[in-house]
Amino acid sequence: MSLLSRLRNLVRSNDLSHDIEREMRFHLDERADDLVAAGMPADAARHEARRRFGNVGIQQERTRERDLIAWLDTFAADLRYALRALRAAPAFTLVAVLSLGLGIGANTAIFTIVNAVMLRSLPVSHPEQLVAIETTGGNSYFTNPIWEQLRDRQDVFSGAFAYAQRTFDLSNGGEARRGDGNMVSGDFFTTLGVRPIAGRLLTTADDRRGCAPLAVVSDGFAASEYGGAEAAVGKLLSLNGHPFRVVGVTDPRFTGINVGERSQIYVPLCSIALLDGGPARLEGRSNWYLHLIGRPKTDLTTERIDARLATLAPSITEATVPPQFDAKSAAEYRAMKFVGAPAANGFSELRTTYRKALLVLMAIVAVVLLIACANVANLLLARATVRRRELAVRLALGAGRARLFRQLLTESVLLSTIGAAVGALFAVWGSRMLLRLLERSDRVVTLDLSLDMRVLSFTILISVITGLLFGLAPAWRAGHLDPQAAMKAQSRGLAEGHSRFNAGKALVAAQVALSLVLVAAAGLLLGSWRTLATLDPGFQRDHVLLVTADLGATAIKPELRRAAYTDIVARLRAIPGVQLVGQSQMTPAGQSSWNDELQVDGYVPRSPHDALAWMNAVGESYFASLRIPLLAGRDFSKVDTPESPHVAIVSREMARHFFGSTNAIGRRFRISQGRTYGEPIEIVGVVGDTKYRSLRDSIQPVVYLAASQEQDVSRSYSFEVRTTTPPLSVAPSVKAAVAAVNPKISLDLTTLERQIDESLAVSKTIASLAGFFGVLALVLATIGLYGIMAYNVARRRNEIGVRIALGALPARVIRMVLGEVGQIVVAGVALGVALSLVAMRIVATFLYGTTPTNAPTLAGAGAILLVVGIAAAALPAWRAARLDPVSALREE
């Protein structure tokens, strides 16, 4: 009978016994009828019918037993037996459960994060209906004028909204305290179906030009800031120095629309005018920062939505063409089309950043699990050989081969289930730790890591698969045991042929190969990270405190900003322990970057990209404080004023790229401003090359403009404070100095070293995890090698005893054992190198200064595995050489 029909019976066992009862009742009735027809009184007939049938209860039992009781019984027996077998070999069980637990746990941990970041639906009502609007080119950012046109004209959505991610400063001056949230259009909450737990949520009435500063906060934020949802309503909240009144608190189940990003505060879109100090971003036809999402009317198909959007597009674009566009750009703009894309998972910056990293980690832990499987399979094989006699006895006593096979599989699946349970515990801890590794000081990652059906099924699935994977081979071999041969095999004096236990050797070789892949990957990733962490970026990263000051919340008028910055620099310089103070728009490897197209007479770019340079606006002694060498010309100084001719300092690469020579002093260039170019700018200095956005970037052209010549002085500047003491030690004095200029200035402080380290966080996380798993793989491989060699030596005691008795020297015995290991390891290493050459391509994105097929790394990994192999075999070999032939031969 098939397992399936048994399981089916198990599920419908009630139906079944009912069926049987009905069928037997029918039989009794028919028999009684016949007896009555033959002349028996009705009572006697029923009695006779029953008598002939025998005991009805027993009949029922006997029928059902086939399907259910027997099967459950044997399963329970198998389980009991398996538990006893595992208890009988505690060392084996411990090693097996631990390796499986680590393997399954690591997989579950990474999968939990993959699930949360990439697979989970948004925590809103019917997320599957949501549609994000994109342009046909796949761009999902839009301007506010486009949104307003779409909002007023569309007839496809029952609700639609626009939103943008925004980080706020919650403190009212001084060091900034960050809160994350969204600027949302009026229909945001109604379209998503979010309900308040206190107060009310924002509506379309709150989202009008010149709107009142209102905010909705998350339940967690209300709890931590105000001590509860009810208490939060009506309170004033300072956002970038502006007071906002809290009108309501969202349901705790709604964790925001951007997966992975903390969503604490929601303000109406119209409040940008207040936050930015002007409606520029509401009116701007070139400010692309809004995501648009809608919930289509129920009867609309995807095709219909796209068709409707396509007919809407011309009128929307016609009304919103940016005025500065020339005829050609305007025509391109008018041709823009909109399409709907599924938005059930929301948008996530985290997803884009970590997609590759998570996939690499998933691959790494999958290999770890394979190694663990090979390890356990190997242990099981060795054990099966030890248990040959036991199995042979059971076969001889009449156990079916299928039954034996099933028994051993039950044992494996039980083992993997225990492993999965251990792994699940490990995963809960591991996924949380991993999440912390993904964070940066300026980005709080919040993910819903709770167990859901998907994670649960994943864990169950991999534990069953692993159980089958490592259990099948030993079980199959047991099923094909010849009891006579197995019983005889224990007799002495047989020199075992080298061809035996091929399966075990192949498994260890496979383990060595997979370990090599991991060790090589770890080597490449750690090497890359080391290269990145220690390379010379063109500036000196230690002893620099980065101070970013934002004047947005102050009453300082734009025309007085320059004076304020000068004041700040002067006060910072006066702090004891401060050596130099630089000033700049952009900081190295910081969060923002700025590039522009340049025009240089005599330089013909091969493509628009070729004319790009990275830009910065810096003050006096920026180069000195970052120790960027001045190669030619001069630094900016007091003579560079808004009225004096515009000057720039360029990097050596800029000079080389645009002028073909590092001597570019006195040369001029212009910066594109939309379709035209600005005034010519003269180069007065050339400085050394530096990394601009990321240490991974190649050296690219950089242009430094004079901050002192900026026409509309920016609201915010960074200051590079070079100290003689540890940089954070001057932080209190820095805060006091800036507050003395204006207490409402908002400040962000970090060290340059930390900023650079955090820019490498993903590389570091991947490299250290690869290193960790590489070591784990080595440990597992060592256990595997040691296990098989110790077992082989034990098995060959007799033979080795005979050899020694016949005069074999210890050295020869050691050579024999090590030779065997050598063969396995060399085969494994060869296979591993071949595998690495193919598999290493997936880590290529995370490599720096090396290639996926870097020969020294592969050779090094091979050497490590050889050493590990020899080390694992040393103890068994030494034992073999010290064997006392007399006692070895006397045994059995």
Partner 1 sequence: MPKTKNDILQGTLGLLVLKTLDAQGRMHGYAITSHIQRVSDDLLRVEEGSLYPALHRMAQDGWLRAEWGTTEKNRDARFYTITAAGRKQLALEEESWTRLRDGVTRVLRYA
Binding region for partner 1 (CB under 8 A):
1, 5, 19-20, 22-24, 26-27, 29-31, 33-34, 51-54, 58-59, 62-63, 66-67
Tell me the C-alpha to C-alpha distance, in Å, between residue 461 and each of 428, 452, 494.
18, 14, 44
Q: Could you tell me which residues come within 8 angstroms of residue 38 by beta carbon, excluding any fewer than 6 positions away?
A: none
Chain centre distance of CA 241: 35
- Give which of 369, 540, 548 is closest to 465, Cα–Cα: 369
To the nearest whole angstrom, how small is the minimum distance from the Cβ of residue 825 to partner 1? 51
Q: How far is the CB of 59 from partner 1 (least distance, A)?
A: 6
**Shortest distance, CB of residue 41 to partner 1, whole angstroms?**
20
- CB of 109 vs partner 1, minimal distance in Å: 44
CB-nearer residue toward partner 1: 33 or 542: 33
* Closest C-alpha to 310, from 280, 275, 337, 347: 337
Distance between CA atoms of residues 695 and 689, nearest Å = 12
User: Cβ closer to partner 1: 47 or 200?
Assistant: 47
Query: Is the Cβ of residue 63 or residue 353 nearer to partner 1 in the bound state?
Result: 63
Least Å distance between CB 40 and partner 1? 17
Nearer residue to partner 1 within complex by CB, 63 or 694: 63
Residue in 858, 765, 696 with CA at minimum distance from that of residue 364: 765
In the complex, minimum distance from the CB of residue 53 to partner 1, in angstroms, rounded to a whole number: 5
* Nearest-angstrom CA–CA distance, 265 and 275: 14
Residue 619 neighbours by CB distance under 10 Å = 25
- Where is 135: in which H helix or E strand? strand 131-135
CA nearest to 511, candidates 687, 337, 375, 322? 375
Q: What is the 3-state secondary structure (H, E, C) of 630-678?
A: EEEECCCCCCCCCCCCCEEEEEHHHHHHHHCCCCCCCCEEEEEECCEEC
Give me 223's structure tokens: 């709890």
The residue (of 31 and 334) whose beta carbon lies closer to partner 1 is 31
Distance CA(851)–CA(694), nearest Å, equals: 19
List of long-range contacts for 441-445, beta carbons under 8 Å, 24+ apart? 441/750, 441/754, 441/758, 442/178, 442/591, 442/748, 442/758, 443/261, 444/180, 444/262, 445/260, 445/261, 445/262, 445/350
User: Alpha-carbon distance 490 to 230, whole Å?
Assistant: 79
The 10 Å CB-count burial string (b at 16+, else e) for 458-486 is: bbeebbeebbebbbebbbebbbebebeeb
Work out how close the CB of 69 gets to partner 1 at its nearest, in angstroms, rounded to a whole number: 13
Nearer to partner 1, 26 or 81 (CB): 26
* Radius of gyration for the chain, computed over Cα atoms and rounded to the nearest angstrom: 37
Residues 6+ apart with CB under 8 A from 164: 182, 183, 269, 289, 290, 291
Q: How far is the CB of 10 from partner 1 (least distance, A)?
A: 13
Non-local CB neighbours of 260 within 8 Å, separated by 6+ positions: 116, 117, 348, 349, 350, 351, 445, 446, 447
22 or 500: CB nearest partner 1: 22
- CB of 14: closest distance to partner 1 in angstroms? 16
Query: CB-wise, 52 or 480, nearer to partner 1?
Result: 52
By C-beta, is 55 or 729 nearer to partner 1? Answer: 55
Q: Quick one: which of 275, 309, 302, 305 has its CA closest to 289?
A: 275
CB of 383 to partner 1, least distance (A): 36
**Which residue, chain included where needed, has tokens 């952009």?**
586
Report the nearest approach of partner 1 to the CB of residue 1 (Å): 5
Query: Of 34 and 697, which has the nearer Cβ to partner 1?
Result: 34
Please report how close the Cβ of residue 38 comes to partner 1 at its closest, in angstroms: 13
Q: Which is nearer to partner 1, 71 or 289 (CB)?
A: 71
Residue 118 structure tokens: 């990439």
Tokens of 419: 């492993």
67 vs 180, which CB is nearer to partner 1?
Answer: 67
Nearer to partner 1, 65 or 884 (CB): 65
Q: How far is the CB of 72 from partner 1 (least distance, A)?
A: 16
